[in-house]
Structure 1
């Protein structure tokens, strides 16, 4: 008997398409579901069968050698027309399946049971089914388990749909945030070119540097799948590469930060500290074309780590008192160090300046 179309076939197919699962790669979670179904129901075949417009496509299967069958041959095409688990004890004795090629040809299917995969809108997308080569019935426990495994399969599909929607939303938010940050950076560049005083140009350059740190952090957060765990070595490298574009020609910048992970909040604070330390050194540490180096390192210290930003420039004035406590740059460094748990230290490096900030990486 040729199976009828579902009464809401158009909506059902639209729902199935929206999940984006048709013709997708094999998935271990679905493979486990069919393996469990076959083992518990004691059948040689188990399938997650999604009923498309003209085929039954197998998201997962065990005991079958093909990825799909024509829709008219799929027993699940009948099952999606009914509520609950459909059990056909003997396919040759049931009008729906007696003339089906799968019942007649080759190694015939003599038993079928299918639990529907029902979307939240109530429309069936297919079935988790088990097949056997001999007539039989499932026990009550096997029927309940088949139903539960079908629900698990549907939950897996729903989870993947939500993750995909979140990914699309995240991409849209990322695009808008990136555009906004780029707009602000462009405005600071324009204002910097128009500014008449060196002090104003320097202040705008600092603002631009802080925004670039946020941009680097945002980019890394977007690319990572590790949750709120940032690879500090990679992140610090991105910040250092940005700073290299602003260094005086005679000043180099080097980085020695081993691979470790920090939270996004920690990464933001560390990025700001590195930016401010380097910018201050570029601006004040190497007057009159003096050559030198800015070095950023992270090393173990007791139970945690310390970030060390140092240069070999002219050092602090007044034995470090004024520069260490005054100036917007140093205030920003102090506030960021407090965010990491502080306290930080500012030292004359003989030559240069050394800023030491403790922090604790995440596992």
Structure 2
């Protein structure tokens, strides 16, 4: 039986995995949906409209009208109820609903009263968030308005999928074009040298003295070795480019994590520190799923760390020959977990429990981490004892560029 105070969809892990496929970067939100949130508010006649995405721990507002908000804890949100089914969710009056009547957005300056939300469904039964409209006055939506809002919600999903497809295509095209340009540029010099020397030898024939001939052959050999080195570099992927939009280096990764998760830590009065190893700090690596993996570990650490505690994230990139390993270490001073719970985390079967301030539990976040790490051929290990905090150690192999 579902706990009505902490609604969790029956397909929660599948939902989170589907959301992770979009690999959204919530710290770099280009507002592709501003026109749709504006339209939703106009249609409903409400002051506020939002497009919210809900992950394991957090509700992220990727577009807003009438209010300035970027994130809130999932357990505080109304949209956590909207994603429970494929039907709209309406709260006629927050002040009369015990689930919301004491919330800060009802009792505080915002003074919200009305909510109507539609799930953002990307496939059968998989809801990754909601389009919602809110107001400080009680509202009644006509059937025509409800129908139009449903069309807008479908448009949000279609646009989300379209942008994701476009980003994948852009990434592949950029990689192909960059590789082509590099090969063409780097191969031109050695080839020109070989051709020039060959033509000179052909023109002069064998009139050259043996010593001069050997010098020509040596220069051709040097140019040929240069081409061979280039071929090895391309095959091993060990070449340096500017960061693309699908890449991180350690410095950028650190900045992203601080921007996304410092607000959560401050909200709970927990210190969050992100450290990086300066060695190889500028070398690029694919950002694929890194924010999902590390973000869930940080949110989980904050959740189980009491006020006044500390969460530390250490990032490093180790390179040995052709092997490149990204290492992510998340350590907290929280309540810790026992050996049985550690086994469940590694097996991707972690259960939901409550945090140190009564936060609702979403243990599926760690199950998602385990799934994503495994899908990237990485490894995760956990060290902890009850009352002594926890350390999550993730190692991810990174392909060459």
TM-score normalised over the length of structure 1: 0.49
Which structure has more helix as a fraction of its residues?
A: 1
| Structure exhibiting the larger radius of gyration computed from Cα positions | 1
Larger RCO (alpha carbons 8 Å, 6+ apart): 2
TM-score normalised over the length of structure 2: 0.44
